[in-house]
Chains A and B, each alone.
Chain A
């Protein structure tokens, strides 16, 4: 897992190596400086040797300058290495997700992908910075300070052997106990976020049902949970400082006692005593820092795992070798197609589907909720691969095409469609990057969107909010259709894309299709019978199977489901006509 992530360091490898290198140099200076300081006290001041004090003082100043330089460089490189590392991971993840197929996307929920790309990466970035700065610093500081302490007085250094394990065990206990509690904290945090999120999206429902109090109660429950878990976790961490202080003070006292004796017997100098105390604080604080970093890494480990999951997910739709780059025409044929989202032949959503469509035909698909209409059309631009059977577009198996080629020729207006923040023009250009203004207006006219766009003060430069919330549902659908039309596709699929458009506009759209793009194959999924009534062919789907197929007239004679739907919607209107 770690290896996988380290691959993302790439061009920041130099920085990632330089940072710890300078840290090492900085630490060495930091350890040497107290030694110089001890000399000043012991030799210079004791003997009243001003020139010696000056000499060592200047060396000390130079060392401090060097230490400063190393410290600054280490900080600099650590910053660019970690920011760069995060950038690369983010980039690799995002690019990876772009290569995902629909079924890959289905596997991760949208919100989880977002958290992985944001919070998780930030966690890893912080951990990385910690590793290259402090993870190097702490052990080196520990070792050097220990060496120096031993050099000054090996007997007194035995104190550390007693104290360090005490601190180590204490910290270890704190960390191991705190970690599972923090995990719980994060889980309840997730829940809290979810409740706020749902409350925000459903605020109208909340207010309409006067459920403010109910929601507040729900929130209180979860915020109490966060409160108690957090308190529990932090209570353990509260021991951190006192334990650290305790050992530190114990060291000072022990050193003073034994060191004092040694001084009296002439085995040690006062300056050495002072240095020992400084080294003691360095040794202990490096241990402490080490343990803190350890916690951070442990916490970010979960994040790293989640990132790697995304990176390791392989797209299950890939181009064949030597794919076909041109689509002959808009004919489609399904040959004994079975499909299951999970690839399990026992859980098929589509069963033995066979039909063919000639180029330029208009085909309507109707069926109840859950009859797999959407699933069926999503197979045409190869958003999913069939489980069994074959789908051909332009007489060639969809799996033989280059995917981009295929999808550029098969335009699909999704049921759950999305507009992006930006101007209307920018949104339309999704269909064709190089579309001229004329082309855009033409497409919008076909989709019956031009009128309302022209009525906006900024017309085609009107800025849409995220998700297109500042246009109505029907307007949104028409914009989505226009966007798809700009592709000038050979096949156009509308998946219940005019449900919020009124019948008249709906009829106008279909009329425009018939007159302006006669050679494009049109597949229309609709609830409204009027939307598909005039199609060349209507497919009635029921429970993943074709229940009937033919023109409206034929189906009216033979197909029960169609009759039912037709009569519920159209007959009433006709009665009134008479």
Chain B
């Protein structure tokens, strides 16, 4: 419990730093405005005492009363109220700047940081979980900053100043106030605690139900095919009932807090009246009629902010939990990148040496600064070598002792049953994961020394899952090279043989597609992914089952384009259809994370080993 409290305090402080960081002055003004606004409200209550005691009672029974004093008093009060209204507007208005500004900053920072996280993070956290930080958690945060904090402040100022006024009016009656105050704190603690507990339950149940809904909606067609509707309904009803129960409880406690507080206030009022009456009549403590009247007014002003405060505290606790989750994401460690070798544009000077240049050349080089301050340039050629490499996810070793040499322009194919570790190897080249043991060298440079971004820029990749983005087809292809001209896009599309189907779409290259590629067949989506890789024009290309969803007729056409694309590049290919990897320079057969065979197609066929079996498997068995 103590720990939780400490944690919440830490989160709150951190959040507060966001406010003070860019909005110090504005928040200062807000703070003062809230105090002024609250004080002017209290002044209103106090005013009644003077109004009655000093301006109305003396006039009582006069034949020709002079109201000008009363009028001036009211005018004076009007002035104070005016200031109050103005400061209310001021803090409400400024708070919008602050809350929206802070939220934007938090959102932006969260997204920016998320981009730097390693792939591992995304593997181990569900999308829904990450998404809810952008939606639910920031939403509760917004309410807290823009409403709860000012209101809580306001309530606090009200409570303190009313309390002060109470003491000034009657010390005796204030003792009663303290007793009531203690009761109120206890009650709100108890009910608030219950309600918070059920709110947590409700959030958990809601999360579970939403997860189920998401999964079922996603698999709705499978549900239909298996006539699984009744089962799905049954499970849903169960989760739904659980949610309903916790939601009822949570709201119940939240709903009854207000009436309980309000009526404790009413009781307080009655007790004050009785006690005050006794005191006034017996002349104890110098209470006047006006004094009791305004004290009674105070008791009303006292209860209201108090129950508001207890409600706001609930909201603040919930928001802090959300903020905690957001900060948790922001505190995740970024992909480490100790690389210092960078990729630069170069040209040959008259002496035939490589020199760095700003102009766009066709040649790229690795710029390699050394300890002694000298810099060497190595032309990027696409030579990739693995030396005794081991790799595992967590505890499980998945690749053992991989050695492999890919000379520039060679086509290397990985073959093997599913789960043999083919994709993992390609994920290591672009450093989605870091190897455990051994070395990978790119043009002779250890890839750990190369800046990750530059390394990845030199590698083109086409995955089995295409992953397009909402936007036009043009934009999607251009994703591979952001400054590509339209002509370059057309050329890339033609190269991948995507041009033809794109032309058939209603808006051609400007057809808007949605992120999940709805409306395009899987094959068409893959053609776009290939075009996207083509336009990037990287020296090394990784094709991970890039053509698995393309029918063989189309594939043949794509293959032509791909062959053109692969020319002069080092290519790593993973494919199930062995016919597509046959013409590779080297074929590596993987099993259980080890390379068991390697060589050209013909040589492997002659070996009559695993490759031979795989290749002829279908024919042999038929």
Which 10 pairs, one residue from A and one from B, show the smallest C-beta to C-beta distance? A71-B259, A75-B255, A474-B418, A504-B617, A369-B523, A202-B467, A79-B251, A530-B618, A418-B219, A64-B266
Indicate whether B115 reaches chain A with its CB closer than 8 angstroms: yes
User: Do A503 and B578 have beta carbons less than 8 Å apart?
Assistant: yes
Indicate whether A78 reaches chain B with its CB closer than 8 angstroms: yes
* B99-143 interface code vs A (CB 8 A; 1 in, 0 out): 011011001100110111001001000110011001100000000
User: Do B252 and A75 have beta carbons less than 8 Å apart?
Assistant: yes
Whether A270 contacts B579 in the complex (CB less than 8 A), given A57-B270, A210-B457, comes out as no
User: Do B244 and A74 have beta carbons less than 8 Å apart?
Assistant: no
User: Do B122 and A381 have beta carbons less than 8 Å apart?
Assistant: no
* B540-584 interface code vs A (CB 8 A; 1 in, 0 out): 000001001111111110000000000000000000111100100
User: Do B273 and A41 have beta carbons less than 8 Å apart?
Assistant: yes
Of the listed stretches A293-301, A331-339, A392-400, A567-575, chain B binds A567-575
* Contact residues in B for A95 (Cβ distance below 8 Å): 233
**In the complex, which of the residues A83, A415, A500 contacts B248, with contact meaning CB atoms closer than 8 Å?**
A83
* Bound CA span A257–B55, Å: 11
Apart from the given pairs A87-B241, A216-B108, 15 other A-B contacts in the complex at a CB distance below 8 Å: A41-B292, A48-B277, A75-B255, A79-B252, A117-B213, A118-B213, A198-B469, A200-B130, A205-B467, A223-B107, A414-B225, A483-B226, A500-B548, A528-B552, A576-B601
User: Do B266 and A274 have beta carbons less than 8 Å apart?
Assistant: no
* Contact residues in B for A79 (Cβ distance below 8 Å): 247-252, 254-255
User: Do B267 and A61 have beta carbons less than 8 Å apart?
Assistant: yes
Indicate whether A368 reaches chain B with its CB closer than 8 angstroms: yes
Indicate whether B146 reaches chain A with its CB closer than 8 angstroms: yes
Whether A40 contacts B277 in the complex (CB less than 8 A), given A94-B236, A245-B84, A368-B551, comes out as yes
CB closest residue in chain B, given A472: B418
A-B contact pairs, 27 of them (CB 8 A): A33-B269, A40-B277, A40-B296, A41-B273, A60-B270, A64-B270, A67-B266, A78-B251, A79-B255, A87-B240, A90-B240, A98-B232, A105-B221, A223-B111, A226-B107, A231-B100, A238-B95, A242-B88, A246-B85, A257-B70, A260-B67, A263-B60, A274-B293, A371-B551, A430-B231, A504-B614, A531-B618
Indicate whether B510 reaches chain A with its CB closer than 8 angstroms: no
User: Do B618 and A54 have beta carbons less than 8 Å apart?
Assistant: no
* Contact residues in B for A503 (Cβ distance below 8 Å): 576-578, 614-615, 617-618
Closest beta carbon of chain B to A352's beta carbon, Å: 22
User: Do A504 and B613 have beta carbons less than 8 Å apart?
Assistant: yes
User: Do B577 and A528 have beta carbons less than 8 Å apart?
Assistant: yes
State the interface size on chain B (CB cutoff 8 A): 170
CB closest residue in chain B, given A78: B255
* Bound CA span A224–B101, Å: 10
Residues 199-250 of B contacting A (Cβ, < 8 Å): 206, 209-211, 213-229, 231-233, 236-237, 240-241, 243-245, 247-250
User: Do A65 and B104 have beta carbons less than 8 Å apart?
Assistant: no
Residues 84-101 of A contacting B (Cβ, < 8 Å): 84, 86-87, 90-91, 94-95, 97-101
* Bound CA span A68–B214, Å: 42
Residues 390-407 of B contacting A (Cβ, < 8 Å): none
* Contact residues in A for B605 (Cβ distance below 8 Å): 576
User: Do B51 and A54 have beta carbons less than 8 Å apart?
Assistant: no
* Contact residues in B for A417 (Cβ distance below 8 Å): 222
* Bound CA span A460–B460, Å: 38
User: Do B222 and A414 have beta carbons less than 8 Å apart?
Assistant: yes
User: Do A245 and B616 have beta carbons less than 8 Å apart?
Assistant: no
Indicate whether A501 reaches chain B with its CB closer than 8 angstroms: yes
* Bound CA span A366–B553, Å: 10
Of the listed stretches B10-18, B175-183, B377-385, B514-522, chain A binds B514-522
Whether A235 contacts B618 in the complex (CB less than 8 A), given A249-B44, A499-B576, comes out as no
User: Do A72 and B256 have beta carbons less than 8 Å apart?
Assistant: yes
* A200-242 interface code vs B (CB 8 A; 1 in, 0 out): 1111111111111111100110011011001100110011111
* Bound CA span A212–B290, Å: 69
User: Do B220 and A105 have beta carbons less than 8 Å apart?
Assistant: yes
* Bound CA span A71–B307, Å: 14
User: Do B131 and A200 have beta carbons less than 8 Å apart?
Assistant: yes
Indicate whether A253 reaches chain B with its CB closer than 8 angstroms: yes
User: Do A234 and B96 have beta carbons less than 8 Å apart?
Assistant: yes
Indicate whether A438 reaches chain B with its CB closer than 8 angstroms: no
User: Do A37 and B296 have beta carbons less than 8 Å apart?
Assistant: yes
Indicate whether A182 reaches chain B with its CB closer than 8 angstroms: no
Indicate whether B278 reaches chain A with its CB closer than 8 angstroms: yes
* Contact residues in A for B280 (Cβ distance below 8 Å): 45, 48
* Contact residues in B for A72 (Cβ distance below 8 Å): 256, 259-260
* Contact residues in A for B245 (Cβ distance below 8 Å): 83
* Contact residues in A for B89 (Cβ distance below 8 Å): 238-239, 241-242
Closest beta carbon of chain B to A28's beta carbon, Å: 13
User: Do B553 and A564 have beta carbons less than 8 Å apart?
Assistant: yes
User: Do B100 and A230 have beta carbons less than 8 Å apart?
Assistant: yes
Closest beta carbon of chain A to B220's beta carbon, Å: 5
User: Do A383 and B224 have beta carbons less than 8 Å apart?
Assistant: yes
Of the listed stretches B73-81, B159-167, B362-370, chain A binds B73-81
Closest beta carbon of chain B to A104's beta carbon, Å: 10
* Contact residues in B for A227 (Cβ distance below 8 Å): 100-101, 103-104
* B475-499 interface code vs A (CB 8 A; 1 in, 0 out): 0000110100000000000000000
Closest beta carbon of chain A to B250's beta carbon, Å: 8
Closest beta carbon of chain A to B1's beta carbon, Å: 27
User: Do A466 and B215 have beta carbons less than 8 Å apart?
Assistant: yes
Indicate whether A344 reaches chain B with its CB closer than 8 angstroms: no
User: Do A203 and B96 have beta carbons less than 8 Å apart?
Assistant: no
**In the complex, which of the residues A84, A100, A207 contacts B456, with contact meaning CB atoms closer than 8 Å?**
A207
Indicate whether B503 reaches chain A with its CB closer than 8 angstroms: no
Whether A110 contacts B252 in the complex (CB less than 8 A), given A48-B281, A196-B111, A503-B617, comes out as no
User: Do A565 and B553 have beta carbons less than 8 Å apart?
Assistant: yes
Indicate whether B463 reaches chain A with its CB closer than 8 angstroms: yes
User: Do A261 and B579 have beta carbons less than 8 Å apart?
Assistant: no
Whether A527 contacts B552 in the complex (CB less than 8 A), given A502-B418, A508-B621, A573-B615, comes out as yes
